[in-house]
Amino acid sequence: MHKIQINGVQPDSIAEELGIEAGDYLVSVNGQGIKDIFDYRFFCADSDITLEIEKKDGSTWQYEIEKDEAEDLGLDFDNSLMDEENCCRNKCVFCFIDQLPKGMRDTLYFKDDDARLSFLFGNYITMTNISEEEIDRIIRYRMSPINVSVHTTNPELRVKMLNNRFAGNILENIQRFTSQGITVNTQIVLCPGLNDGAELDRTLGDLTALYPELHSISVVPVGLTRHREGLYPLTPFNKEIAGTVVDQVEGWQKRLLEKYGSRIVYLADEIYIMAERPIPPYSDYEDFPQIENGVGMIASLSYEIEEALSDLDGQNIKPRYQEVSVAVGVSVYSFFKEMTARIEKVVQGLTIHVYPVENTFFGLGVTVTGLLTGYDLIRELKGKALGERLLLSKNMFKADSDLLLDDKTARDLEKALGVKVIIVSDDGQELLDILVQ
């Protein structure tokens, strides 16, 4: 039977009371072998469980445990899945990882395609490597929501775009989830000349017919770096293409809102920016189902800043710093200039410098903030007026760390630029809390 090593035991937990230690092994729960975190959570949800543990000396112990159903045992494992991640088997014509330069850290080249990571962290999966057993487990364990990269519902086109002969049955697989009440969010990476135009209409029609279980669709532009030697020739977005997509999707939104009371499909902020169209108002994003996908991020941040500033109205406001700086991708520079100007107007005595940073590392066509590197930040900001603090979005950094894409750290930036760095989440209230005493 598969056993899983215990990496740690939380203080004052059930596991600590029982004398379970780091280095012991979890063998079974209620006589059932544990494959991963979902088996573990499912079987540990009972109020009466039997835990089988193999101690470090090789002896096996069984513990009869009575607990609240929601109470955690307090066991920590080496990784969040308790299992190896499933890797991607596709060769997508638009894959961003295939466009990375050589010499970066190994983890950046790993392509995950694991439904469990979709449930835990919101990762998107293509469902080309998912087994019947895995689909059944998702339904049985109610792993909802699941995020799926669709791109197109045309079977032949999807096989071509993903370079995988198993890619064509995506609509049937999604229907298996939605028919069982599993919520599905989807994304379309739009590649001009491939899955846009009539193909986009077909995909939107197929997916929106599955509403409400199919909760949302994001349309995001293909990202093209300067490192595309030998790869499929793709057409980059421009103002005209982006404007056509905005008109097309807004037409769908109008019809869907009338039919279902929801827009269902949303465009990435970047498409509005490239089309030189205004960002839709906050209310148009409904429950912001795809904000982590760059959809509605500007509207949300602007709204939160306005709300936070209104709370300060009439108060004796003192800035925490006299002068700070913010570095962003070139696509959102004008929006940040407007937002920081509003902050300066309310918080008297505060100066905020906003600097647009061109992405020479990946190529000038990559304009989003989240893909900026330490190399470009240092190149652009060296010698500039940065004030007492440099504020950088957490989207630039590896999760729960200060590590940038090119392996430079926030500390490296501080040494090179001579200013303390503050990593800020995309939350307007948190930004104001940093700037105001």
pLDDT value at residue 137: 84
Burial class (CB in 10 A: 0-12, 13-18, 19+), 414: middle
Average pLDDT score over residue span 381-389: 96
Q: Are 104 and 405 in contact (CB under 8 A)?
A: yes
- pLDDT tens by residue, 52-77: 999 988 899 999 999 887 788 998 98
Summary mean pLDDT of the chain: 91
Which whole-number Å values give the CA distances from 186 to 9, 214, 255, 261, in the listed order? 37, 8, 19, 19
Asked if residue 133 has pLDDT above 90, the reply is no
Distance CA 15, CA 392 (A): 40
Q: Are 74 and 15 in contact (CB under 8 A)?
A: yes
Name the least confident of 13-22, 129-138, 319-328: 129-138
Which whole-number Å values give the CA distances from 303 to 187, 281, 342, in the listed order? 25, 9, 12
Q: Are 91 and 164 in contact (CB under 8 A)?
A: yes
pLDDT value at residue 116: 66
Place of tokens 């009440």: 181
Q: How confident is the model at residue 214 (pLDDT cuts 50, 70, 90)?
A: very high
Question: Which structural domains are found in the chain, ordered by start?
Answer: 4-77 (2.30.42.10), 97-293 (3.80.30), 300-435 (3.40.50)
Distance CA 291, CA 362 (A): 23
Name the least confident of 29-33, 121-125, 177-181: 121-125
- pLDDT tens by residue, 181-204: 999 999 999 999 999 999 999 999
pLDDT value at residue 88: 80
Helix (H) or strand (E) segment spanning residue 345? helix 333-346
pLDDT value at residue 117: 64
Asked if residue 129 has pLDDT above 90, the reply is no
Other C-beta atoms closer than 10 Å to the C-beta of 90 total 18
Query: What's CA 410's distance to the chain center, in Å?
Result: 21
Dihedral, CA atoms, 208, 211, 214, 219, nearest 10 degrees? 30
pLDDT value at residue 109: 65
- pLDDT tens by residue, 268-326: 999 999 999 999 999 999 999 999 899 999 999 999 999 999 888 767 788 999 999 99
Q: Whole-prediction pTM value?
A: 0.86
